Amino acid sequence: MTCRIHPSILSADFANLETELTRIHTADAVHVDVMDGHFVPNLTLGLPIVQRLAQVADLPLDVHLMIEDADRWAPGYAEAGAASVTFHAEASAAPVRLARELRAAGARASMALRPATPVEPYLDMLPELDMVLIMTVEPGFGGQSFLDVTLPKIRRARRAVDGTGLPIAIQVDGGISRDTIRRAADAGADVFVAGSAVYGAEDPAVAVDMLRNLAGA
Ligand code: DX5
Ligand code: ZN
């Protein structure tokens, strides 16, 4: 399995985002956490900044929307040039329709599940998705500890994805580090978001390569 590392700029220097992108040149994409202060108790950045990042970034943008009313706002991020747009299942009234809209706008469609949200109700819609994000912390903040309780859900998602025969990625996000990435990979994840473990390192580009090696080992 090819393992991909998507550093989260939530842990980067928000005053120097363009420079911060160059520090992760070894990454496979850059993970952009959009939070609205309602779906999660934190507020980060929104569409105007994502539009600019899409213009200046060499890496594909992996946008993670932690916002309410995803049906209304998510397509705009696809139109802005995001390579993938992840909305939360808990924030969409019509996830199948939304996934189709994202694909029609040229993005990969992805759906996220909070730690307490089961994957089973959504298995039928897997063919509509390019990626499933299993949150491994409660969304909202960087620097939290990986929740081992999510491992069985990653395994169930992997079995279901393999059953479709489709190349659907399984992303994990939250608490991914040198100590935890192997566990998530063993459970079946193949795309790994890491914020503090990358930007907290002396050389983020080296940290990315190290994480990828550990995941694929
Ligand atoms: C949390 C965000 C994550 C966060 C991960 O709600 O979705 O992407 O940046 O940060 P770490 O890797 O520090 O847990
Ligand atoms: Zn995220």
CB 182 within 8 A of CB 151: no
Q: Where are the domains of the chain?
A: 4-216
pTM above 0.80, yes or no: yes
Question: Which superfamily does CATH assign the domain made up of 4-216 to?
Answer: Aldolase class I (3.20.20.70)
Annotated binding site for a divalent metal cation: 31, 33, 64, 173
Helix (H) or strand (E) holding 119: none
173 is annotated as an active-site residue: yes
pLDDT at 126: 98
- Under DSSP, is residue 107 helix (H, G, I), strand (E, B) or coil? coil
Report every protein residue that has its C-beta within 5 angstroms of ion ligand 2. Answer: 33, 64, 173
Dihedral angle computed from the Cα positions of residues 177, 183, 186 and 189, in that order, rounded to the nearest 10 degrees: -50
Annotated binding site for substrate: 8, 64, 140-143, 173-175, 195-196
At residue 1 the predicted structure's pLDDT band, cuts being 50, 70 and 90, is: confident
130 is annotated as an active-site residue: no
ipTM for the predicted complex comes to 0.99
Which candidate, 69, 187, 191, 90, places its Cα nearest to that of 138? 90
Which candidate, 18, 11, 2, places its Cα nearest to that of 33? 11
CA–centroid distance, residue 82 to ligand 2 (Å)? 14
